[in-house]
Amino acid sequence: MTEEILEPELPIIDPHHHLWDLRPLVPAFPEPRHAFIEAIAGAAYYTFDELHADTHSGHNVVGTVFMECGAFYDASRADALKPVGEVEFVNGVAAQGASGLYGDYRPCAAIIGHADLTRGDGVRPVVEALLAAGNGRFKGIRHAGAWDADPEVLGPPFHAPEGLYAADSFREGFAAYADYGLTFDAWLLEPQLGDVLDLARAFPDQQIVLDHCGTPLGIACYRGKQHERFDSWRRSIRALAECPNVAVKLGGLAMAFCGLPEDGPHKGHGSEHLAGLWRPYIETCIEAFGTDRAMFESNYPVDRWGASYPVLWNAFKRLATGHSEDEKRALFAGTAARIYDIEHLLDLPTASA
């Protein structure tokens, strides 16, 4: 779907996207494919050129934050250090963007990598290697905790252990990691939000970012139950917002997990329709966290399931219509810039194509 770009001058820092090449893996994806597998199979290749095309499709994206996704791990390293390869790769993409050949635009200005926190205190050398590989751009890690009793919710490749964030080994690693003053992105599912709440309360000085509005579910055994589960999700979001060390990413709702829309991918939904589907979740999160702890995200290319990049950001702009100019600047760039320590991007001129 093609739409006129709304508020094309509004600066955007996209705080959550991936880069990968899954083409060698697609033939091994199980049949029949889980809806999420189907979505990422449809975006099996997403590197600098694809990111550049999306971020230059009309909106004023001045910079981005890369989010770990298990891509380009270094097979030559020991298991604990394999994720360093991902940060090395992404730092190269960031250097490509910083060359100035692509205008005043800084892709991957912040890099979120991965370290296995269940290694306890042994995570320290991994974090130090990630810091060295990032050349000043490495800002934190994500250790996903997504789990559900119904194996059809996530599909075979994506289950973390049940109760990961409460495990003693994880907490030991989290305590060691907290010494570095970096961010921690948490991805888990709506029924698990109490796990990240307990973690945030146990480590009140650690900056935690909740991904994807807490991932409300509308798939498998949760299909069609978004309305009946909404109040429970909202109570969890409000409880998390009481922790000043937690921020929230406003997005991810176009994932197949959420069923918002249910009939992706590439169905051509317009931004008005998507804004209507997402409004209860986005407005609840902003009301709970405030604009200084909330940030719109693309979650691309995963959210291509439900929206093209220009339509996705148009939907977000429709959802922000009632906010002041200062609040919009926070939601679309300022909060991400502060939390991921890339505030220098806000001084860049308008991004050029």
| CATH number of the CATH domain containing 61 | 3.20.20.140
| Mean pLDDT of the region 6-28 | 89
Taking the model in full, what pTM does it have? Answer: 0.95
Burial class from Cβ neighbours inside 10 Å (0-12, 13-18, 19+) for residue 68 reads buried
* Inside any domain, residue 4: no
**How does pLDDT run across 88-143, given as a tens digit for each residue?**
999 999 999 999 999 889 999 999 999 999 999 999 999 999 999 999 999 999 99
Q: Is residue 1 part of a domain?
A: no
Does residue 2 lie within any of the structural domains?
no
- Number of structural domains (the chain) is 1
Residue 265 falls inside a structural domain: yes
Residue range 58-71: average pLDDT?
97
Kindly provide the b/e burial profile for residues 200-238, where b requires at least 16 CB atoms within 10 angstroms of the residue's own CB: beebeebbbbbbbbbbbbbbbebeeebeeeeeebbebbe
Q: Is residue 6 part of a domain?
A: no
Q: What is the pLDDT of residue 2?
A: 82
Give the residue numbers spanning the domain of 172: 11-347
pLDDT tens digits, one per residue of 256-284: 899 999 876 567 889 999 999 999 999 99
pLDDT number for residue 86: 98
pLDDT recorded at residue 269: 87
Please give the share of the chain, as a percent, with pLDDT higher than 70.
91
Chain position carrying tokens 């709506």 = 190
- Identify whether 150 is part of a domain: yes
Distance CA 145, CA 257 (A): 15
Q: Is 167 exposed, middle or buried (0-12, 13-18, 19+ CB in 10 A)?
A: middle
Cβ within 8 Å of residue 121, ≥6 positions away? 172, 173, 176
Tell me, yes or no, whether 117 lies in a domain.
Answer: yes
Return mean pLDDT, the chain.
93
Contact 279/318 with Cβ under 8 angstroms?
Answer: no
Mean pLDDT of 19-33: 73
Tokens (6 digits) for 135? 């050349």
Q: Is residue 141 part of a domain?
A: yes
Give CA separation, 297 vs 32, 167, 180, in Å.
Answer: 30, 29, 25
Percentage helix, strand, coil, to 5, in the chain? 45, 15, 40
For position 230, what pLDDT does the model report?
A: 98
